[in-house]
Chains A and B, each alone.
Chain A
Amino acid sequence: DQQVKQNSPSLSVQEGRISILNCDYTNSMFDYFLWYKKYPAEGPTFLISISSIKDKNEDGRFTVFLNKSAKHLSLHIVPSQPGDSAVYFCAASEEGAQKLVFGQGTRLTINP
């Protein structure tokens, strides 16, 4: 039973436009959510996070939105750049759980 799901395996966006990556979760005990970015042959790297007490967190071109009632979060990248092409993983954790639960990733391709 996958508690974190990213239902879009891939997404293609034109350079300069907005990229929106989605993530759904089922565990209502999750209270912290993160996005990781992964390039080929590298490990995932932390991108941005949000606590369940917030509904939005922004860092430069990256904004994460959390809708707790829908158990849904999204990552917005604007404007999208070619270097943003990567696999993006959504992850979540429960307070004190000492582990992250990951989705299966969405491959984002930014076209020039």
Chain B
Amino acid sequence: DTAVSQTPKYLVTQMGNDKSIKCEQNLGHDTMYWYKQDSKKFLKIMFSYNNKELIINETVPNRFSPKSPDKAHLNLHINSLELGDSAVYFCASSPRGSGANVLTFGAGSRLTVL
């Protein structure tokens, strides 16, 4: 039973399209994150939600809009996709009170913008 699951695993789309990536965790964690792994392989935080409340927004363009309908779900919607958005997007979660010290990651969603 997957702890943090993301869908889709692969996504290929044209520039200018809008797409969404969904994430669900069954660990009972209060905090969820989106990280982006770019072409240089760094994993960089994009957003963090604590019990549905946005707590971190790391200067991500407005075209990216996270939505957390409940504390077990954190979805990422991207408008007007650009070539530079091609990356692997990882969802993660952590328990309340742990800071960000131990994250459990999903398997990643590879987005390719043509």
Contacts and interface: CB of A to CB of B under 8 A. Distances in A.
A80 B102 CA distance: 24
B50 interface: yes
B90 A44 contact: yes
Nearest to B55: A98
A8 to B, nearest CB: 13
Contacts, number: 63
A41 B110 CA distance: 9
A104 B35 CA distance: 13
Contacts of B58: 99
Contacts of B99: 32, 93, 95-98
Interface residue tally on B, bucketed by range: 20 to 34
A75 to B, nearest CB: 16
Given A44-B43, A44-B105, A105-B41, A99 B92 contact: no
A44 B106 CA distance: 8
14 contacts: A32-B99, A36-B105, A43-B4, A43-B92, A43-B108, A46-B102, A91-B43, A93-B99, A93-B100, A96-B99, A98-B48, A100-B103, A102-B35, A102-B42
Interface of B: 4, 31, 33, 35, 40-45, 48, 50, 55-56, 58, 90, 92, 99-108
Interface of A: 2, 32, 34, 36, 41-46, 49, 89, 91, 93, 95-105
Given A93-B100, A97-B100, A102-B35, 5 more contacts: A43-B90, A95-B99, A100-B103, A102-B44, A105-B41
